[in-house]
Amino acid sequence: MAKFWARIKQAAKSPWGKIISIGGIVLMVLGVLANITGLAAFAIEYVFPHPKPTPTPTQTPVVVSIQSIDISSPVAAGEIATVKLKTVPGVTCHLDYYTPSGKISTSQDLNPILSGIDGTCTWKWRIVGNTKPGKGRLVVSVEGIEEEHEIEITP
């Protein structure tokens, strides 16, 4: 039995793999099979290489800003006011209108708007007929950027 273990230890040290000869029968141990399998895997990889992954393009971050704002001012009470804001496409724009007396308008026409492909948001609403003349206040905001402007209301 000691000879058996001596041969196993000797085979384990062999640079050619793990070959054990017992009574004239040659046994291959997993080391040789692993070498053959690795060689076959290399050949398969060489003939049928894995496709290289397509790199995901990185997007340049969009810098959100309020590029311009057009306000129809002065506007007479009872008439239509218009605010046109230019920003980047696809962002939500908000407009709050405060009357000259300081009251915020609840007009449904002043709801938030998603900017179009050209980056424009436009609001049109009627100034209530009994609005007192004076300077109203407009607060526009886009993605956390806020600006305040005046609108003149005339009788």
The pLDDT > 70 percentage for the chain reads 68
Angle at 94 (CA atoms; ends 86, 80), nearest 5 degrees: 80
Domain shared by 72 and 134, yes or no:
yes
- Say yes or no: 9 and 79 in one domain: no
Mean pLDDT within 93-100: 97
**pLDDT value of residue 27:** 44
Q: Where are the alpha helices (DSSP H) in the chain?
A: 2-13, 30-47
pTM of the model: 0.61
Is residue 37 located within the same domain as residue 89?
Answer: no
Residue 125 in domain: yes
Residues 107 and 43 in one domain: no
Q: Give the number of domains in the chain.
A: 2
pLDDT of residue 129: 93
Instruction: Give the per-residue pLDDT at 59.
Output: 76
Q: Is the pLDDT of residue 48 over 80?
A: no
pLDDT for the residue numbered 43: 44
Give a yes or no: residue 133 inside a domain: yes
Residue 91, token pair as written in the block = 């962002």
Please report whether residue 105 resides in a domain: yes
* Angstrom distance (rounded) from CA 129 to CA 103: 15
pLDDT at 61: 76
**Mean model confidence pLDDT for the chain:** 80
Does 129 fall in a domain? Answer: yes
Closest C-alpha among 26, 125, 7 to residue 75 = 125
Q: Does 12 have pLDDT greater than 90?
A: no
Q: What is the mean pLDDT of residues 42-65?
A: 69
The verdict on 93 and 147 lying in the same domain is yes
Domain boundaries, position 127: 68-154
